[in-house]
């Protein structure tokens, strides 16, 4: 089915658009009352992820409210390690936790590579269902966590501030770290291919914790494995790579061959465009905290990002990280209208 609104795919291919497309990281989330209602019906977050009908329902909720230019599969980056047998739980106020974290080389060697058609069937079923229910309105983004980011949770067993265990592993036993990352990258390649086969139009890699690494360690332990995943995707599928804190390394990220580079809000998007040129699409990068202020400030700061990007560029507007639960839903309306209206002049 041809897409009714294909701005996002056009801009990722470097084709002209009438205005800058946008979507919002975590757009199906707790700031929406209808999301909170579905979540309550589901009982908990993991049940919501693992029930295709409910995942589909929340994926579509922000599309029904706002003129967003993409849907993104509702899921979690930790589905892959969960399917590898680490037993994920998500406790309110604590965050993710694995009952069986990876603690030794033997643990790494014993990790299975999940069959996305079996252990992760609930995800591909959700993708198929969402794709059907979208009826071609906008493209559907599939996604996965980066191998490095998944490995931090798998080895630490939970969220971390210092990353002591995983860093001891990469510096103290790099061969074991590479064995782990290679396995996770292979699992993720299969997983994203399965999402694409089920109907996703493009994919995004979330490298939430790449910014915790040194420049050299980022290349070796994070970027190399994202590149390997991209090389395992069908030719022509657009991929967006986002490393939070990756501002110093944008050139290397663009060189992976991705169609889009995600920017957090620390980067000036005009500088990023000067550094990378127009051979790649930039995605970002409003500070999510701005969504907490007032409609006037949201509009002014969104215009500032568009103005910094300037005319004729390849830009997908987004926040620099996920939208937070306290954001008033009407601020998202203001954001969507401002981005579409104010950007027309730059695509004339």
211 sits near its own copies (criterion: CB under 8 A): yes
268 sits near its own copies (criterion: CB under 8 A): yes
290 sits near its own copies (criterion: CB under 8 A): yes
Task: Tell me, by CB under 8 A, how many residues bind its own copies.
Answer: 36
292 sits near its own copies (criterion: CB under 8 A): yes
The interface region with its own copies, picked from 127-135, 184-192, 206-214, 231-239 by CB under 8 A, is 206-214
Residue 149: how many CB atoms within 10 A of its CB?
24
How many residues make up the chain in this entry? 348
In the complex, least distance from residue 226 CB atom to its own copies, rounded to whole angstroms:
17
> Is there a catalytic annotation at residue 227?
no
In the complex, least distance from residue 172 CB atom to its own copies, rounded to whole angstroms:
5
In the complex, least distance from residue 30 CB atom to its own copies, rounded to whole angstroms:
14
> Is there a catalytic annotation at residue 76?
yes
Task: Say if residues 247 and 267 touch (Cβ distance below 8 Å).
Answer: yes
In the complex, least distance from residue 25 CB atom to its own copies, rounded to whole angstroms:
14
Q: Which of 182, 287, 337, 341 binds its own copies (CB under 8 A)?
A: 287
Q: Would you say 94 or 171 has its CB closer to its own copies?
A: 171
Task: Say if residues 207 and 143 touch (Cβ distance below 8 Å).
Answer: no
107 sits near its own copies (criterion: CB under 8 A): no
Task: Say if residues 312 and 345 touch (Cβ distance below 8 Å).
Answer: no
297 sits near its own copies (criterion: CB under 8 A): yes
* 321 token code pair: 């990280």
- Asked if residue 285 has a cis previous peptide bond (ω within 30° of 0), the answer is yes
Q: Which entry of 6, 31, 35, 39 is annotated as an active-site residue?
A: 39
**Residue 178 burial by CB count (10 A; 0-12/13-18/19+): exposed, middle or buried?**
middle
Report which of 193, 101, 209 is spatially closest to residue 155, judged by C-alpha positions: 101
Q: Would you say 135 or 168 has its CB closer to its own copies?
A: 168
In the complex, least distance from residue 248 CB atom to its own copies, rounded to whole angstroms:
4
Sign (positive/negative) of CA torsion 151, 127, 10, 323? negative
In the complex, least distance from residue 215 CB atom to its own copies, rounded to whole angstroms:
4
* 185 token code pair: 């990258």
Site string for its own copies, 304-343 (x = CB under 8 A): x---------------x---x-x-----------------
Q: Which of 3, 90, 179, 289 binds its own copies (CB under 8 A)?
A: 289
* 275 token code pair: 């550094």
Q: Would you say 32 or 213 has its CB closer to its own copies?
A: 213
Q: Please, how many CA atoms are within 13 Å of residue 64, restricted to the half-sphere of its CB?
A: 11
221-250 positions binding its own copies, by CB under 8 A: 245, 247-248
Q: Which of 214, 231, 257, 311 binds its own copies (CB under 8 A)?
A: 214
In the complex, least distance from residue 326 CB atom to its own copies, rounded to whole angstroms:
7
Helices (H), the chain: 7-12, 33-42, 45-50, 52-65, 79-81, 105-110, 121-134, 147-156, 164-172, 174-198, 215-217, 224-231, 250-254, 269-276, 295-309, 329-343
> Is there a catalytic annotation at residue 153?
yes
The DSSP element (H or E) to which 203 belongs, if any, is strand 202-207
What percentage of the chain's residues is helix, strand, coil (to nearest 5)?
Answer: 55, 10, 35
Q: How far is CA 276 from CA 93, 254, 255, 263, 273, in A?
A: 39, 7, 10, 12, 5
CA distance 35 to 61: 7
The interface region with its own copies, picked from 47-55, 178-186, 188-196, 287-295 by CB under 8 A, is 287-295
CA distance 33 to 16: 36
Q: Would you say 16 or 172 has its CB closer to its own copies?
A: 172
Q: Which residues bind its own copies (CB under 8 A)?
A: 162-164, 167-168, 171-172, 211, 213-218, 245, 247-248, 265-268, 271, 285, 287-290, 292-294, 297, 301, 304, 320, 324, 326
Q: Among all residues, which ones are annotated catalytic?
A: 26, 30, 39, 76, 153
């Amino acid at each position: 089915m041809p897409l009714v609104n294909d701005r996002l795919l056009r801009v990722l291919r470097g084709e002209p658009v009438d205005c800058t497309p946008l979507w919002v990281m975590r757009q199906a989330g707790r700031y929406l009352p209808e999301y909170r209602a579905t979540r309550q019906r589901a009982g908990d977050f993991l049940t919501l992820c693992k029930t295709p009908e409910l995942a589909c329902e929340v994926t579509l909720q922000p599309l029904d409210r706002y003129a967003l230019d993409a849907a993104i599969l509702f899921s979690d980056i930790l589905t892959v390690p969960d399917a590898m047998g680490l037993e994920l739980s998500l406790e309110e106020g604590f965050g993710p936790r694995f009952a069986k974290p990876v603690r030794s080389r033997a643990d790494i060697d014993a990790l299975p590579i999940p069959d996305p058609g079996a252990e992760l069937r609930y995800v591909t079923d959700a993708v198929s269902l969402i794709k059907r229910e979208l009826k071609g309105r906008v493209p559907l983004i599939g996604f996965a966590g980066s191998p490095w980011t998944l490995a931090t949770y798998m080895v630490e067993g939970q969220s971390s501030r210092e990353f002591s265990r995983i860093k001891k592993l990469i510096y103290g036993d790099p061969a074991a770290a590479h064995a782990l990352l290679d396995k996770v990258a292979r699992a993720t390649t299969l997983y994203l291919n399965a999402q694409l086969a089920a109907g996703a139009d493009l994919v995004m890699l979330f490298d939430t914790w790449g910014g915790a690494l040194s420049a050299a360690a980022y290349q070796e332990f994070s970027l190399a494995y994202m590149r390997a995943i991209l090389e395992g995707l069908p030719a022509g599928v657009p991929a967006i790579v986002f490393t939070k804190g990756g501002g110093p390394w944008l050139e290397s990220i663009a060189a992976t061959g991705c169609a889009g580079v995600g920017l957090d809000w620390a980067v000036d998007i005009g500088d990023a465009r000067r550094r990378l040129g127009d051979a790649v699409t930039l995605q970002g990068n409003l500070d999510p905290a701005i969504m907490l202020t007032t409609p006037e400030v949201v509009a002014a700061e969104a215009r500032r990002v568009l103005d910094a990007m300037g005319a004729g560029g390849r830009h997908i507007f987004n926040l620099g990280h996920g939208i937070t639960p306290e954001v008033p839903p009407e601020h998202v309306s203001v954001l969507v209208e401002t981005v579409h209206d104010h950007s027309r002049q730059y695509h004339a």
